[in-house]
Amino acid sequence: MLVKSPIPHKKGRIEIIPLIDIMFFLLASFMMVSLSQVHMKGIKVNLPTASSGETQSKREYVSVSVDKDGHYFFDKDEVSEQELQARLTKVHQSSPEAKVFVRGDRDTAHLNVAHLLDYLRSAGYYKISFEIKSEALKGVPGPRG
pLDDT digits 0-9 by tens, 25-53: 999 998 888 777 655 666 676 666 666 55
pLDDT confidence of residue 144: 45
pLDDT confidence of residue 142: 45
What sign does the dihedral 134-138-143-145 (CA atoms) show?
A: positive
Highest mean pLDDT (candidates 1-10, 13-22, 133-142): 13-22
User: Domains, the chain, ranges and CATH?
Assistant: 49-137 (3.30.420.270)
> Residue 34's CB: how many other CB atoms inside 10 A?
8
pLDDT at 137 over 60: no
pLDDT band at 136 (very low <50, low <70, confident <90, very high): low
